[in-house]
Amino acid sequence: MILRLDALGVERNGRALVRDLSLEVGAGQIVGLVGPNGSGKSTALRCVYRALAPTTGAVLLHDRDLTALTRRESARRIAALTQEGGSELDFTVAEIVALGRAPHLRGNQALGAREQELCRRAMTQLDVLHLADRGVLTLSGGERQRVLAARALVQEPEVLVLDEPTNHLDIRHQIELLTLLRASGLTVVIVLHDLNLAAAVCDRIGVLAEGALVAAGTPREVLTARLVRAVFGIDATVVPHPLTGDPQLLYSLGAPA
């Protein structure tokens, strides 16, 4: 196991945001976290990229507690695409992407030739190279999201954590980003709202409700009409994807009262 959440618990103001969450992520696996709003998905992720210290339990990387590593050491192994929309200051796209090297460089040390190439490749992969000299504040939400994804790739992590990375992206870029994840060979933990995309991209899915893990397994095992009904409170018809066989959910709007 590369990454293991071990009985992870997070409390804030006496309220349990995440309760006794245990989850294993194998090398090269893509593990999805799904669940309704406020179910603790983002909170769990925040513990993985160390924006938050768990109240109980631990996040283990190669069986070592993350808190035993310095923050920079963790950041060299775990990169994150958070829900934050970019920047307060008008950096250029290339500057933002280059910041992904921050945990690898001392102080204000400049990027080497290999790192420049790395940035270039990441920008190419995410289709933002043509924006390299643009100010990031002039970009659309989706373009910015891709820039931030490129920044995370440049970090050369073992584990990539993504919190709703498809936000703001048009459908083509959603598919491209998820395809890129599959092709990258990275170990990925990803929060997705779109269950159909989750079924398509994830090797395993963990379902959270009120801070606790209520189901975990392959998309086929987890994404059933019964579970969707129980966790999300909606009726969905689950059909196999005609090409890939992944479970896909079809929704119908409730009848008007």
What letter would DSSP give residue 89?
Answer: S
Of residues 95, 115, 156, 194, which one binds other proteins by CB under 8 A?
95
- Give CA angle at 24 (22, 29), nearest 5°: 145
- The pattern of x and - marking residues 15 through 44 that bind other proteins according to CB under 8 A reads ------------------------------
Stretch that binds other proteins, among 59-67, 128-136, 207-215, 224-232 (CB under 8 A): 128-136
| Pick 64 or 241: Cβ nearer other proteins | 241
The full 3-state SS of 177-237, as one line of letters, equals HHHHHHHHCCEEEEECCCHHHHHHHCCEEEEEECCEEEEEECHHHHCCHHHHHHHHCCCEE
List alpha helices for 79-186, DSSP H.
93-98, 113-125, 141-154, 171-184
Q: Does 55 bind other proteins (CB under 8 A)?
A: no
> Which of the stretches 14-22, 222-230, 231-239, 243-251 binds other proteins when contact is defined by CB under 8 A?
243-251
Tell me which residue of 169, 164, 163, 165 sits closest to 139, measured CA to CA: 169
Binding residues for other proteins, rule CB under 8 A, total: 68
Piece in contact with other proteins (CB under 8 A), picked from 45-53, 55-63, 187-195, 230-238: 45-53
Can you count the helices (H) and strands (E) in the chain? 9, 12
Taking CB under 8 A as the rule, does residue 125 contact other proteins? yes
The span from the CA of 101 to the CA of 118, in Å, is 10
Contacting positions for other proteins (CB under 8 A): 46, 49-51, 70-76, 78-80, 82-96, 98-100, 102-103, 105, 107-108, 116, 119-120, 123-125, 127, 129-130, 132-133, 135, 137-138, 148, 152, 155, 161, 176, 179-180, 182-183, 200-201, 203, 241, 243-246
